[in-house]
Amino acid sequence: MYLTDCQATGRMFFDAILLHGLDKLTNNHTAFINLSTLGFNLSTSALILELLNLISPKQAVIEVVERTEELEDVTHFVSEMKKRGYTFALDDYDGDEKWQVVLEQVDYIKLEVEEPLIRTVLQAKKLKRKYPRTKIVVERIEDNNVFKQLTEAGVDYFQGYFFSKPEMMSLKNISPTKMVVLELLKLASQSDLDFSLVQKKVEKDLSLTARILKLANGVCGNTQISSLTQTIIYLGENLVRQFITVLALSELGQDKPSELTKLGLVRAKFIHLSLEGQNQQLLNAGYLVGLVSVLDAVLDTDIDHIISDFKLSDVCKDGLLGN
């Protein structure tokens, strides 16, 4: 099976974040990450949306790209994530009226230099008048004359070869074994997460150890980490479950059609939303049912075998079997 460019980019992004950390990739600067990289169209890389929960809002600005078609979904997503402190940019704004509702939500508007330059200058001035609190970013600045005129037009930030050229980073990657990932997913499916067993599984795999330590570095602040046990306990049950879920969907579905991952995520989210107002244990069970419902196809086995092998609760069993 071949990955699309979007899927390959999303997977590479996922591995880079969990193994090397966003701060290292950006030299401690804010990263602009577009939703096509995150896979907003709910393709295989849609699981990267869950990864936003593992990234501090202070670390990244999420870009809505110009080829986005699911505007209603994107608008809802932006609204919900802004409540949690994330900031957003509209990339390559082309002046189309369809972006009106998005413009009212984003914190940055990105433009590309057009010919003649006066078009970009006028667009920047118009946006600054209408959205005075929104930062304007212009890309493809290639000489001082363009930079000077856009500065006078009120543009806030600039990007282009006039300042610097992109640098290629060479990073080594190591992948966790599917067996260990599967065992972790089984542990995450239990109503009570056994931290000691999670630690034993993680410490068997250098890749997993590196990823979870890097995740801890991102959320622990100035707290020093002295052991893997401390790391897992500090992260807490919800974040550890989330880490395992994202990891499992990424690793176990590598050689399967992207629609399987899409279907599992959609089912999980649908059930979770349907159970709003219920206790947290039932919400977790519902989300898990959605994810596990596609594992028979991912692992090429029967759903009965998965139910037995994962030692799922009666509630989960009934949900998977349609009882």
Helices 206-219, 228-235: axis angle to 10 degrees equals: 50
Q: CATH second-level architecture of 5-158?
A: Alpha-Beta Barrel (3.20)
> Which residue's structure tokens are 């990424």?
250
pLDDT range class, residue 160, cuts 50, 70, 90: very high
pLDDT in tens, 194-226: 888 888 888 777 677 777 877 777 666 666 666
pLDDT range class, residue 176, cuts 50, 70, 90: low
- pLDDT at position 278, please? 86
- pLDDT at position 155, please? 95
pLDDT at 152 over 90: yes
CATH 3.20.20.450 location in the chain: 5-158
Amino acid letter, residue 308: S
- pLDDT at position 226, please? 66
Closest Cα to residue 235, out of 254, 256, 216?
216
Q: Do 298 and 252 contact (CB within 8 A), yes or no? A: yes
- pLDDT at position 123, please? 94
- Cα–Cα distances (Å) from 51 to 215, 218, 227, 245, 287, in that order, read 11, 13, 24, 10, 16
Question: Average pLDDT over the chain, rounded to whole?
Answer: 79
* pTM passes above 0.85: no
Burial class (CB in 10 A: 0-12, 13-18, 19+), 49: buried
pLDDT in tens, 6-45: 555 666 666 666 656 677 777 778 888 877 645 444 333 3
B/e letters for 298-321, b = 16+ CB within 10 Å, e = fewer, are bbeeebeebbeebebbeebbebbe
- pLDDT at position 45, please? 37
B/e letters for 77-108, b = 16+ CB within 10 Å, e = fewer, are bbeebbeeebbbbbbebeeeeebeebeebbbb
Least confident of 55-64, 79-88, 182-191, 250-259: 250-259
B/e letters for 50-68, b = 16+ CB within 10 Å, e = fewer, are bbbebbeeebbbbbbbbeb
3-state secondary structure of 205: coil
pLDDT at 2 over 50: no
- pLDDT at position 209, please? 79
Q: Can you tell me the distance from the alpha carbon of 220 to that of 235, in angstroms, rounded to the nearest whole number?
A: 8
- pLDDT at position 42, please? 38
Average pLDDT over residues 119-132: 94
- pLDDT at position 111, please? 94
Average pLDDT over residues 108-128: 94
- pLDDT at position 179, please? 72
pLDDT in tens, 50-96: 556 667 788 889 888 877 777 787 888 888 888 888 899 999 898 88
